């Protein structure tokens, strides 16, 4: 959990602050960063800030599932909320804090049609005052940080002045001082969510400039970052780096994060040992009716680039969904890697 509120409410530029969990974080990714994924990622890094998938206020208030389930081992863990009704967001934020989440994040970046129809996500960039009202409503009922993840612009509203006005309005009307900026604008129509992650050009310098112009804010950067070397370059300009698909597809990156970005005295994690450390969790989940494949789909990329990785992926993909599949499937797949080491 956040051990020191001064870290996240610091009024001075804190680019060198290695104590803030958001110095490196795994992005919220729909259908990917579920509780099984987050448990696995935590085994790889003790310091990284983990985000849930985006959860809508409607799902929490009216849904029948336990959308806020997580394991205590996941801390520090942040809940990303989707919504635009300040009262509903405040209600959900309060529940999330009671459940033990370390941060509440408002999604102002997702461009999908489904999200827009609910009037939340990236379309909210067009109404900065409403975003401020939403954040303020949540801050009034929780003591954990309330943060915003957004884009650098939407549609034709993509000037630097527009971005500054948005940030300034949200900051001054809500007191929010932590923003994660996806360094692309979003097209609200004409592009799929996948295309919106790839086609609009990245503009990292714009995010760097935002940090210079708002030094009192804590700014994390997101979008297209593929290595820790790139992360280190960004950290010369901003406070934090958020990585999404690259970490999911190549989770071994996380094994080096604590050593490289937080504390050089911390060891690089052994990925084989991490897989074995996952066994008790798998056994517990299987005993509760979870299918093996729901867990192993998140670990397919752990040995990317290592001899035996293809056999590892194939064995898990072909066998984890079979009736009665258990830890022996993972052990057999792991042997295909370890015997070649």
Of 70, 90, 84, the closest CA to residue 28 belongs to 70
Considering Cα of 49, then 50, then 53, then 57, what sign does the dihedral take?
A: negative
Higher pLDDT, 203 or 13: 203
28 is in an annotated binding site: yes
Phi and psi of 108, rounded to 5°?
A: -125, 35
**pLDDT given for residue 220 in this prediction:** 98
Catalytic residue among 92, 110, 123, 134, which? Answer: 110
- Lowest mean per-residue pLDDT among 4-18, 91-105, 195-209, 236-250: 4-18
Of 231, 258, 259, the closest CA to residue 244 belongs to 231
Question: Taking the CB of residue 174, how many other CB atoms lie within 10 A of it?
Answer: 23
250 is in an annotated binding site: no
Is position 123 annotated as part of the catalytic site?
no
**pLDDT given for residue 184 in this prediction:** 96
Taking only the tens place, the pLDDT of each residue in 212-260 is 999 999 999 999 999 999 999 999 999 999 999 999 999 999 999 999 9
Please say if the pLDDT value at position 10 is more than 60.
no
Taking only the tens place, the pLDDT of each residue in 155-206 is 999 999 999 999 999 999 999 999 999 999 998 887 887 888 888 899 999 9
* All residues at 6 or more sequence positions from 185 whose CB lies less than 8 Å from its CB, including other chains: 151, 152, 153, 154, 155, 158, 200
182 is in an annotated binding site: yes
* Distance of alpha carbon 181 from alpha carbon 220, whole angstroms: 6
- 108 bridge partner residues: 150
The two structure tokens encoding residue 304: 């990317």
109 is in an annotated binding site: no
**pLDDT given for residue 15 in this prediction:** 52
Phi and psi of 186, rounded to 5°?
A: -115, 135
* Distance of alpha carbon 274 from alpha carbon 42, whole angstroms: 10
223 is in an annotated binding site: yes
Of 193, 173, 104, the closest CA to residue 142 belongs to 104
194 is in an annotated binding site: no
Q: Binning pLDDT at 50, 70 and 90, where does residue 7 land?
A: very low
Give ranges for CATH 3.20.20.70 in the chain: 24-262
Taking only the tens place, the pLDDT of each residue in 116-153 is 566 778 899 999 999 999 999 999 999 999 999 999 99
pTM of the model: 0.93
Query: Among residues of the chain, what percentage have pLDDT more than 70?
Result: 93
Q: Which CATH architecture describes the domain 24-262? A: Alpha-Beta Barrel (3.20)
Query: Residue 177 burial by CB count (10 A; 0-12/13-18/19+): exposed, middle or buried?
Result: buried
224 is in an annotated binding site: yes
138 is in an annotated binding site: no
Please say if the pLDDT value at position 3 is more than 60.
no
């Amino acid at each position: 959990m956040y051990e020191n509120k001064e870290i996240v409410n610091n009024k001075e530029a804190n680019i060198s602050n290695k104590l803030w969990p958001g110095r490196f974080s795994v992005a919220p990714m729909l259908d990917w960063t579920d509780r099984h994924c987050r448990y696995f990622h935590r085994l790889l890094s003790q310091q990284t800030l983990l985000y849930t998938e985006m959860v809508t206020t409607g799902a929490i208030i009216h849904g029948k599932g336990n959308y806020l389930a997580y394991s205590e081992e996941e801390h520090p863990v942040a809940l990303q909320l989707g919504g635009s009704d300040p009262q509903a967001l405040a209600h959900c934020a309060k529940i999330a804090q009671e459940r033990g989440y370390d941060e509440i994040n408002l999604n102002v970046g997702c461009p999908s049609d489904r999200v827009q129809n609910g009037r939340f996500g990236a379309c909210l960039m067009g109404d900065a005052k409403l975003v401020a009202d939403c954040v303020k409503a949540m801050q009034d009922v929780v003591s954990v940080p309330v943060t915003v993840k957004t884009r650098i612009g939407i549609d034709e509203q993509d000037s630097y002045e527009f971005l500054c006005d948005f940030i300034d309005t949200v900051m001054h009307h809500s007191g929010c001082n932590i923003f994660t900026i996806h360094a692309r604008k979003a097209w609200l129509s004409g592009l799929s969510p996948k295309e919106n992650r790839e086609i609009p050009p990245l503009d990292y310098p714009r995010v760097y400039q935002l940090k210079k112009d708002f030094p009192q804010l804590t700014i994390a950067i997101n979008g297209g970052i593929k290595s820790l070397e790139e992360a280190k370059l960004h950290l010369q300009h901003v406070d934090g780096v958020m990585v999404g698909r690259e970490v999911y597809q190549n989770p071994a990156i996380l094994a080096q994060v604590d050593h490289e970005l937080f504390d050089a005295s911390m060891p690089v994690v052994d990925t084989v040992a991490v897989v074995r450390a996952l066994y008790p969790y798998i056994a517990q989940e299987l005993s509760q009716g979870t299918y093996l494949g729901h867990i192993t789909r998140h670990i397919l990329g752990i040995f990317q680039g290592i001899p035996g990785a293809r056999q590892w992926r194939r064995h898990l993909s072909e066998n984890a969904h079979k009736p009665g599949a258990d830890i022996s499937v993972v052990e057999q797949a792991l042997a295909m890697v370890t015997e070649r080491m």
